[in-house]
Amino acid sequence: MSKNEVLKGLFLVGLGATSYGMLATFVKLAYNENFTTAEVTSSQFIYGILGMLIINGFQKLKSKQPVINASKKNIVQLMLAGTSLGMTSVFYYLCVKYINVSIAIVLLMQTVWMGVLLEWVLDKVVPSSKKITAVIVVLLGTILATNMTSASSLQVDWRGIFWGLLAAASFTTTMFTANKIALGVSSAQRSLYMLLGGAVIVFAFALFTQNTPFNFEIFYKWGIFLALFGTIIPPILLNAGFPKTGIGLGSIISSLELPVSVLMAYIILGEKVVFIQWLGIVLIIAAIVIMNTHFKKK
């Protein structure tokens, strides 16, 4: 692959990760206007599904060759995988409700070690010394990035920690399954059916938790932003960029989500981020680099 293609892939992955990084700040802003988690997630998934339907229709019209349609088996598999995507949104937004965005994104990045653990349990792949080192660095970085060493850590709402770790676990499941099923189907189709599966979880959550009249203002105030930066732009850019960069290099660039999310929270929400937290964020990114860099033996 040419150098220009790799650079193009890096740009696409970086832009996709940046979009994801902006998402939690929009959720927090919606919460500040008294919108509920049910309203936030429902609007995001409804707009996301509509967007993906339009993109799929456009691809079919534009393509000169017949588009490979997902089989019934593919659709069922993708929708089942999508349920964990829906859970990720619900859990992560509940997490953001109780704690700062700068801490919530660090908790979501625990997918680094959770992915290693899941691979070990399900695929029987014993983690290498490099991966074990990366996991230790992530855990150390998490302690610093969440500022757990200070007295102020005792004031953190532990409900946020709980939901944040659940979000990381469900997101790990999403990544693990999404990379194994219906790989011959277009990324737009895969995204659509996974969103449909996630919508089942989101709508069920809304049905059981929304105890006030649904505020439809969410659709024209924040719904479009949430869908664009959460369910439309990132999957398209990441699916287009990763084949050009490869999983290793792509994973390193996608870690941009972490500093972007913290910066957005710092600039727009005015969240306090101290030096030790930035140090922890650097360590987590370093761990991702360690896991995805191949060192040549002399």
Q: How confident is the model over 113-151, as pLDDT tens digits? A: 888 888 888 878 788 888 888 888 888 988 888 877 665
Q: Quick one: pLDDT at residue 298?
A: 44
- Statement: residue 7 has pLDDT above 90: no
Give the residue, 182 or 100, on which the prediction is more confident.
100
* Helices vs. strands in the chain: H and E counts, helices first: 14, 0
Instruction: Give the model's confidence band at 253: pLDDT under 50 very low, under 70 low, under 90 confident, else very high.
Output: confident
Residue linked to tokens 């010394």: 129
Dihedral sign (CA 218, 219, 221, 225) = positive
Place of tokens 């070690």: 113
| pLDDT in the model for residue 279 | 92
Span 8-25, mean pLDDT? 86
Name the more confident of 89 and 63: 89
Q: Taking the mean position of all CA atoms in its chain, how far away is CA 246?
A: 18
Is pLDDT larger for residue 186 or for residue 298? 186
Which of 105-109, 157-161, 237-241, 254-258 has the weakest average pLDDT?
237-241
Q: At what angle do helices 233-245 and 247-254 cross, to 10 degrees?
A: 140
Burial class (CB in 10 A: 0-12, 13-18, 19+), 144: buried
Q: Which of 113-127, 135-149, 233-247, 261-275 has the lowest mean pLDDT?
A: 233-247
Please give the model's pTM, rounded to 2 decimal places.
0.86
Q: Is the pLDDT of residue 52 over 80?
A: yes
In order of 5, 34, 69, 70, 203, the CA distances from 240 in angstroms are 11, 36, 19, 19, 29
How confident is the model over 83-98, as pLDDT tens digits? Answer: 998 999 999 999 999 9
